[in-house]
Amino acid sequence: MRGIGIYDGTGPGEPGGLAFDLAQLVEALGMRGRVARWRALPSPSYVSDVDIAPFEAASDGPGPWISGEEFLACARAVQQVIDGEFQAMQPGDRSRPWLVLRAVDSSWWEAYSDDPDVEGALRRAFHDLRPARYQPRAT
């Protein structure tokens, strides 16, 4: 999978913290993000006023697959993802994730996909994109 890092808000002269989080990443994907099935990989670290059940369920292993709309609602309830990895599968596909989103120490996000439309959507939504530093976990 090809990877791209997203750093908006962390550059020189910018506020010094990310200007976006998980919800904005999913929203940038448009309808494809909303119709995909999503899950959290083990032990996401996040800040929220409420426990996010599908994220908490990923404490010992991958969390349950949930709808894109439910995942987006969960993402909107999170103020910040510090570390975490989230997979998306397109409807009807059972082979491998279409997309992996990874929060890296609340400093940047990485997106991994073989679909060139993912990079295009992210480039339209964000302005500070760089090559990914890591690879997604194998599941």
- Strands 2-6, 108-113: pairing is antiparallel
CA distance 65 to 58: 11
pLDDT: which is higher, 13 or 109:
109
Task: Judge contact between 1 and 113, C-beta under 8 A.
Answer: yes
**Domain around 83:** 2-131
**% of the chain residues with pLDDT over 90:** 79
In a domain, 139, yes or no: no
Task: Judge contact between 28 and 127, C-beta under 8 A.
Answer: no
In a domain, 92, yes or no: yes
pLDDT in tens, 31-89: 999 999 999 999 999 999 999 999 999 998 999 999 999 999 999 999 999 999 999 99
In a domain, 100, yes or no: yes
Looking at residue 139, what is its pLDDT? Answer: 55
In a domain, 138, yes or no: no
In a domain, 88, yes or no: yes
* Whole-Å CA distances, 113 to 49, 54, 85, 96: 31, 22, 13, 11
Long-range contacts of 68-71 (CB under 8 A, 24+ apart): 68/26, 68/33, 68/34, 68/35, 68/36, 68/37, 68/38, 69/34, 71/26, 71/36, 71/38
pTM: 0.93
In a domain, 74, yes or no: yes
In a domain, 67, yes or no: yes
Looking at residue 95, what is its pLDDT? Answer: 85
User: Tokens 């939504």 belong to which residue?
Assistant: 125
Tell me how many domains the chain contains. 1
pLDDT: which is higher, 5 or 60:
5
Looking at residue 138, what is its pLDDT? Answer: 60
Does the pLDDT of residue 21 top 80, yes or no?
yes
In a domain, 136, yes or no: no
